[in-house]
Amino acid sequence: MMAGSVSAAASYMHVTQPAVSRLLRDLEADLGFPLFDRAGGRLVPRKAAAMLFREVERVYVGLDQILRVAQDIRALSEGVLRIGTVSSFNDVCTRDVLPELAKRFPNLTIAFDTESTERVVDLVSLRHYDIGLVCSPHEQEGLIDQQLFTAHAVAAIPLRHAMAKKPKVALADLAKQRVILPGRTSPLRLALEKEIAAAGLQLRSPIEASLSNCCRLAARELGIAIVDPLAATDFAAEIRVRPLVPSIPVAYRAISARQTPGSLVLETFLSLLNLVVTTRLAALDCE
């Protein structure tokens, strides 16, 4: 699943290709169901393989976390802050928040990853991350879900596009336009799909991308992107940002495990994040 082929897996594991094939056959026999389809000499993962891989990965993440904690204790530094975030927060954190945090805590070890919403939630619940930043509520046992800010989805329009002159963009306006949408599993995309279905719209040849890439593609004039406003702030000089009608709410949230101890580092991080996001959203040209 990680290497993409039997031969690459064999090289990664330092064994022969027949050995990997035999191990795979033995595993499928023990499980009682196939994990891959054989097609043209290649292995195509089935849904069962993806489900099993995810659970195996959770086990390895847990083992890795034990090693990380041991290293942290040994280091005896100011501590460690592990952050998992969806792409909307990526530029905010890397450009503004984390540099300032590192200045204030020069001996702090920082781990920062950008993941899907589902992955962030999973790894926070496994304590791989101290805090996760997402754009939808999560009522999951063992997690604390804190709302940070609220906003509404916007249209990111190429500067020279005719629709850049409109004060607002309605979903119906997009029926004849090339639209750039966030990934199918993102909370914003799921909310969008409901509104599109309710309006009975058929979008023409949409493009799918991560939120940051949606804005990047809009800036390159590939279409009009529907994004959350925080993602749009990264490209404010390259696009026109307009409110979307109907209004689709976006909730920026922080999640953490219930037993995660509070710390000055974590409080400072959230305080800096609040300041930066508030400033960015206030400055966004969204008439």
CATH code of the domain in which 37 resides: 1.10.10.10
Residue 101: predicted pLDDT = 95
142 and 162 housed in the same domain: no
Residues of the chain with pLDDT > 90, as a percent, come to 41
Q: What is the pTM of this model?
A: 0.67
pLDDT of residue 137 exceeding 80, the answer is: no
142 and 21 housed in the same domain: no
Asked if residue 79 belongs to a domain, the reply is yes
Q: How far apart are the C-alpha atoms of 148 and 266, rounded to whole Å?
A: 14
pLDDT digits (tens, 9 = 90+) for 11-21: 888 899 899 99
pLDDT digits (tens, 9 = 90+) for 29-43: 999 999 988 877 778
Q: How far apart are the C-alpha atoms of 124 and 283, rounded to whole Å?
A: 31
31 and 141 housed in the same domain: no
157 and 232 housed in the same domain: yes
Mean of the per-residue pLDDT values for the chain? 87
Q: Residue 95 has what DSSP assignment? A: I
Asked if residue 118 belongs to a domain, the reply is yes
Asked if residue 1 belongs to a domain, the reply is no
Residues of the chain with pLDDT > 70, as a percent, come to 94
- φ, ψ for residue 40 (rounded to 5)? 60, 40
Asked if residue 188 belongs to a domain, the reply is yes
What angle do the packed helices 6-13 and 17-31 form, to 10 degrees? 110
Asked if residue 272 belongs to a domain, the reply is yes
Asked if residue 51 belongs to a domain, the reply is no
Q: Which residues contact 240 (CB under 8 A, 6 or more apart)?
A: 156, 157, 158, 159, 161, 164, 285
Contact between 28 and 38 under an 8 Å Cβ cutoff? The reply is: no
C-alpha distances in angstroms, 123 versus 204, 259, 267?
Answer: 36, 15, 20
Q: How far apart are the C-alpha atoms of 266 and 163, rounded to whole Å?
A: 42
Asked if residue 35 belongs to a domain, the reply is yes
Structural domains of the chain, count: 3
242 and 258 housed in the same domain: no
105 and 133 housed in the same domain: yes
Beta bridge partners of 43: 38
C-alpha distances in angstroms, 172 versus 92, 147, 183, 195, 197?
Answer: 31, 31, 21, 10, 11
84 and 221 housed in the same domain: no
Taking the CA of residue 190 as centre, how many other CA atoms within 13 Å lie in the half-sphere pointing to its CB? 7
**Which range of residues forms the domain containing residue 217?**
152-249
170 and 35 housed in the same domain: no
pLDDT digits (tens, 9 = 90+) for 50-71: 888 888 888 877 777 777 766 6
217 and 167 housed in the same domain: yes
118 and 259 housed in the same domain: yes
Residue 74: predicted pLDDT = 53
CATH code of the domain in which 103 resides: 3.40.190.10
Residues in the chain, overall count: 287
Stretch 153-170: mean pLDDT: 92
pLDDT digits (tens, 9 = 90+) for 244-274: 999 999 989 999 988 766 688 889 999 999 9
236 and 204 housed in the same domain: yes
Q: How far apart are the C-alpha atoms of 187 and 137, rounded to whole Å?
A: 9
166 and 225 housed in the same domain: yes
Asked if residue 166 belongs to a domain, the reply is yes
